[in-house]
Amino acid sequence: MISAGDFRKGLNFEMDGEVYEVIDFQHVKPGKGAAFVRAKIKSVLTGATKDTTFNPSERFEKAVIETKEMQYLYGDGELFYFMDNDTYEQIPLEKSMVEDALDFMRENDTAIINFYDGKAFKVSPANFVELEVTATEPGVKGDTSSGGTKPATVETGFTLNVPLFINMGDIIRIDTRTGEYMSRA
């Protein structure tokens, strides 16, 4: 059991028959009255967020979230197929569940999938990926009025800003949590 006073970012708990993740929290101690916890929580299964206040002594059941590393096989437009590398079992997931991760994943890449009660609810790519630049304008020497960056599209179709010296065909390292250029690979 977890009390609301022990909330931390990323913590998963069960409330009213649903599983929530704490996105943000704040312990509030007003001058008058009892202390309380103001939290922004996100439903793990639906993705809906809400702001709620809790009494710090309220207790909740801790949710057990299973994490598996799986290989992305292919997508057919509506469903995207992932394979467990240990059991070779394949699971289809809906586009709405994987579309954020697809910006950084190619076929046969590894993804991290979170499960609750045997049901997948979140797909994440690796924290850092290396992708090939497929389209970018050539950098003009001395053109630093835009901060020394230019847009580039990588092989998955994702567009990000890169330094002027990056050319088509270069392999770059991207931080998938922020979508930012890290370095040349």
Mean pLDDT of 62-84: 90
List the one residue out of 175, 143, 142, 139 whose CA is nearest residue 160. 175
77-97 per-position pLDDT tens digit: 889 999 998 999 999 998 888
Domain count across the chain? 3
Mean pLDDT of 141-167: 82
Distance between first and last Cα of the chain: 45
81 with 58, same domain: the answer is no
Give the residue numbers spanning the domain of 7. 2-62
81 with 57, same domain: the answer is no
For residue 57, what are the contacts with CB-CB under 8 A and spacing of at least 6? 3, 4, 5
Residue ending a domain, among 125, 150, 165, is 125
Residue ending a domain, among 82, 102, 125, is 125
Q: How far from chain centre, in Å, is Cα 36?
A: 29
Distance separating alpha carbons of residues 74 and 100, to the nearest angstrom:
15
31 with 76, same domain: the answer is no
Distances (CA, A) of 38 to 7, 17, 51, 149: 10, 20, 7, 40
pLDDT of residue 53: 92
Distances (CA, A) of 172 to 20, 79, 92, 176: 35, 28, 30, 12
Distance separating alpha carbons of residues 167 and 148, to the nearest angstrom:
14
6-19 per-position pLDDT tens digit: 888 888 898 888 88
Distance separating alpha carbons of residues 33 and 55, to the nearest angstrom:
12
Residues β-bridged to residue 147: none
119 with 148, same domain: the answer is no
Is 146's pLDDT higher than 60? no
Q: What CATH number is associated with residue 152?
A: 2.40.50.140
List the one residue out of 91, 86, 97 whose CA is nearest residue 72. 91
103 with 135, same domain: the answer is no
106-115 per-position pLDDT tens digit: 999 999 998 8
For residue 177, what are the contacts with CB-CB under 8 A and spacing of at least 6? 127
Q: What CATH number is associated with residue 51?
A: 2.30.30.30
